[in-house]
A = this chain, B = another copy of it.
Amino acid sequence: MSNLLERLRRRGWRMTAQRRVVAEVLDGEHIHLTADEVLARATERLPEISRATVYNTLGELASLGEVIEVSSVGRAKRYDPNAHRAHQHLVCAGCGTVRDVHPEGDPMVGLPDTERFGFTVTGVEITYRGLCPVCGAAAPEEGPESD
């Protein structure tokens, strides 16, 4: 289950119409919206919602650990509600599509102690880059390159 709203309510998160709409818009799988996209979708359901509220809410959800800020795709941050299952991202260089993918083991073991420089390592973000089936077929050898 991925009921973000439910989880938030259970945490005693103060609920308003705006917050509910933002949480609803974010809920789901393979959701990686920008703040602007969240605003657009939220506005469809609640025309009076403001950009500032969207940013406030997204920032709060992020610091609650209920959504993850993804900054490795495009200039604008994206917000990923799949915060309760460890996963990584697979990004298409052609169309920007982002898929959630799941690790086989703990990716943090990939960093040996000798490479930690005394850091306490608490997390790891992995972004795979490539071409999705559609973009890979559309530009097998005439992609965005110029030798």
Contacts and interface: CB of A to CB of B under 8 A. Distances in A.
A90 B121 CA distance: 8
A47 interface: no
Interface in A119-147: 119-133, 136
A83 interface: no
Copies of this chain in the oligomer = 2
Contacts of A102: 115
B125 A127 contact: yes
A37 to B, nearest CB: 18
A122 B93 contact: yes
Nearest to A145: B63
Interface string A1-26: 00000000000000000000000000
Contact of A124 (B129, B131, B133): B129
